[in-house]
Each structure stands twice: as C-alpha cells, then as structure tokens.
C-alpha cells in the first residue's frame, strides 16, 4: 500500500498539526481497522482530551469515520467508546 496516496489529501486540507499527526497514524499503523480514541492518542503522545478535537476535525473533513460502541470499560462497567478509522473508500482505493 502506498502511503503517498493517503497523506497527500491531508497536506492539502489545511488541518491542524494534531489532526495531521493522528491522520498519519491511521495511514501508517491502523491498517484501516477501527481504533479507540485512547489508542490513537497514545500513539501520537497526546492525552485523550487533546486527541478528541483533532479527531472530530478529521471526521468533519471526511478524512476519518467514527462509530460509538457500547462495550466493557476498564472499570468492569459497560460504557460508550468512540472508535475512528480511515474511510473505507480511501483504504480500498490504496489497495487497488
């Protein structure tokens, strides 16, 4: 998979530095899979709260998709977690 295809749109969009870092993580490391906010934040050396706004920025630009999942949290209770990934047409287009 060529990362040049994926990163070029991020360079043209005028997104924030944090959003660009998170986008690069999705392109280089996620493999198109769903990633939790915390995992993406940890990979980019950001706190959970520092990553949320840039992730929303990517979603609004159409550069990431999000979903909410009701799952078991770290404290043994069910809670809502938000996951992000690259849009599938981006992942499928790079594989072609």
| 30-69 pLDDT per residue, tens | 888 999 999 999 999 999 999 999 999 999 999 999 999 9
For domain 3-95, the question of CATH label 1.20.1440.230 is answered with no
CA torsion angle for 35, 47, 27, 63 (degrees, to 10)? 80
The residue that leads in pLDDT, 6 or 66, is 66
Q: What is residue 14's predicted lDDT score, i.e. its pLDDT?
A: 83
φ/ψ (deg, to 5) at 16: -70, 160
Q: What is residue 6's predicted lDDT score, i.e. its pLDDT?
A: 62
**Cβ 66 vs Cβ 59: under 8 Å:** yes
Is the full-model pTM beyond 0.85?
A: no
Q: What is residue 9's predicted lDDT score, i.e. its pLDDT?
A: 67
Mean pLDDT of the chain: 86
Question: What is the residue whose two structure tokens read 């915390």?
Answer: 38
Question: What is the residue whose two structure tokens read 């949320």?
Answer: 52
DSSP-derived secondary structure letter, 7: H
The domain spans of the chain are 3-95
Q: Hey, is 67 helix, strand or coil? A: strand
């Amino acid at each position: 998979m060529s990362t040049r295809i994926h990163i070029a749109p991020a360079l043209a969009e005028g997104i924030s530095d944090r959003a660009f870092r998170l986008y690069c993580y999705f392109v280089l490391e996620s493999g198109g899979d769903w990633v939790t906010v915390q995992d993406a934040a940890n990979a980019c050396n950001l706190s959970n709260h520092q990553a949320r706004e840039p992730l929303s920025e990517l979603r609004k630009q159409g550069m990431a998709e999000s979903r909410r999942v009701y799952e078991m949290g770290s404290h043994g209770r069910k809670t809502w977690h938000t996951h992000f990934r690259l849009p599938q047409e981006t992942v499928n287009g790079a594989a072609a």
